[in-house]
Structure 1
Amino acid sequence: MDKENYLTELEEYLDALTADEKADVIEFYNEYIDDAGLETTDEIEKRLGTPRQLSRKVLADYSIKVTDIESHRSKKSKASVRSNGKMIWMILLALLASPAAIVLGIVLFAILACVVAVFGACMVAALAVLCTFFILMIASLYVGIVMLFSSFTTGLFYLGCGLMGLGAVLIGFPLLYWIFRAIIQGIANFAKFLYKKIYKNRRQGGNEK
């Protein structure tokens, strides 16, 4: 009865998964508990953690799996920003849910907060510069068109400057997005490495016992 209650509660925390994925998880841990000979709730939680803790680990594992699949399908070997962001969040929750890894979870959260704060400030500043530059280039185009009727060469100069500036702005916006995506990918890779390292060590420690 304890096993059924544990698995029922675990399933309730897995709403982010599809019905088939939840069924696979429940079936796996049902067999795991039977094979390990775990009978009471205390024995199960000592080995697997509480249903909430285990669910966060499961969701983190599935998030990593999704990003890995996207990376293999993508020619650039990078998952989407959305998938990476979700994976980072799931890993963070999994680390914070584990007493043994809570310190690392806090460290990861602190790193993430610092990166977001610094990069956010840089992004705002860069966007402000690009927007200002864009307005100036539009003004340069306007002046160039007006000047064509009074001084053709001067008008061409302003038009050329305006077009070159607009080209630079059009390059700048995708560049900012690329930098943002690269930073998120770097954080995701670090979080994935940290998560796998921690749970690999925990599994090895459990096997030694």
Structure 2
Amino acid sequence: MNKVIDNYILQLKQNLVNLPNSDMQDVVEFYQEFLLDGNYHNESEIIAELGTPKQLARKIMADYSVSIPEREEAHKTSSKSNLKTIWVILLGVLAAPIGIPLALAAVIVMVAVLIALAAIFIALAIIITSLFIAGAFILIRSFGLLFGGYWASGFFYVGGGLVLTCISLMLFPVIMKFIRFLTAECAAFFQHIGRKIFKQRYYKTNV
């Protein structure tokens, strides 16, 4: 086999580590056959046709990510998996051979969505942390009142501190579910954009 093709396929395989093994084997075999049939003899010809191994891997992974049903699968997976999907699609859009205006518009929209998502995450984290810290601080200060002769005020602040602490603990699972919902919706939105952009299929399809 052509050493240039061997080297390209090896690098491609190394950049597809996050693809399921069975799918990765299919993809690798497809591009291996494609390059052999094309009778490519140097790396520059391959890169001109498919891009670098890393670029092609990003396009394949992005195309794989957008091939998953949008909302059904997004809401079944973890926030970490959805964030990974978002990142993979963004990298794929950056690597895809599309018109510059379209690429810029897509990237700007995606980055704006990510910034908004990050802002919401930070705001929620600040709110729940502030409530917990405030509750803990009030509880600590209330003990000084209890043992300092101001027991009535002390009990009042103990109650207030417990209320704030309990609210923060009760809000935590609710906020986590809300974050999972937001990341799932964001992943579905990115998949939708990816389907609009990736006119040429890279995952297990004809080039």
Q: Same fold (TM over 0.5)?
A: yes
For structure 1, the 5+ residue unaligned runs are 204-209
Change (3 A) 1:45 1:17: closer
Amino acid at match of 1:58: I
Distance 1:49 1:62 in 2: 17
User: 1:179, 1:55 → 2: CA distance?
Assistant: 32
In structure 2, the partner of 1:25 is 27
Shift of 1:139: 3.1
CA distance in 2, matches of 1:90, 1:162: 44
Partner of 1:206: none
- 1:49 aligns to 2:47 (yes or no): no
What SS does the aligned partner of 1:14 have?
Answer: helix
Q: Which residue of 2 aligns with 1:167?
A: 166
Residues 110, 190 of structure 2: 8 Å contact kept = no
Aligned equivalents of 1:102, 1:185: Cα separation in 2: 28
User: Which residue number corresponds to residue 185 of structure 1?
Assistant: 184
Q: Report deviation, 1:163.
A: 0.9
| Equivalent residue pairs, number | 192
Structure 2 unaligned regions, length at least 5: 202-207
Distance 1:125 1:77, change over 3 A: closer
1:92 is the counterpart of 2:108:
no
Contact 1:56 1:93 in 2 (8 A): yes
- Secondary structure in 2 aligned to 1:99? coil
Instruction: Give me the TM-score of the superposition, normalised by structure 2.
Output: 0.66
Deviations 1:102-139 (A, max 9, x none): 54443333233323434444544554444443333223
Separation in 2, partners of 1:118, 1:58: 27
Q: Residues 69-80 of structure 1: matches in 2 within 5 Å?
A: 77-80=75-78
With the length of structure 1 as denominator, give the TM-score of the two structures.
Answer: 0.65
Quick check: which one's helix share is greater?
1
* Alignment CA distance shift 1:104-1:79 (3 Å): farther
Q: 1:57-99: per-residue Cα shift (whole Å, max 9, x none)?
A: 222244457x76xx75xxx933223322222222222222222
Give the number of the structure with larger relative contact order, counting CA–CA contacts within 8 Å between residues 6 or more apart. Answer: 2
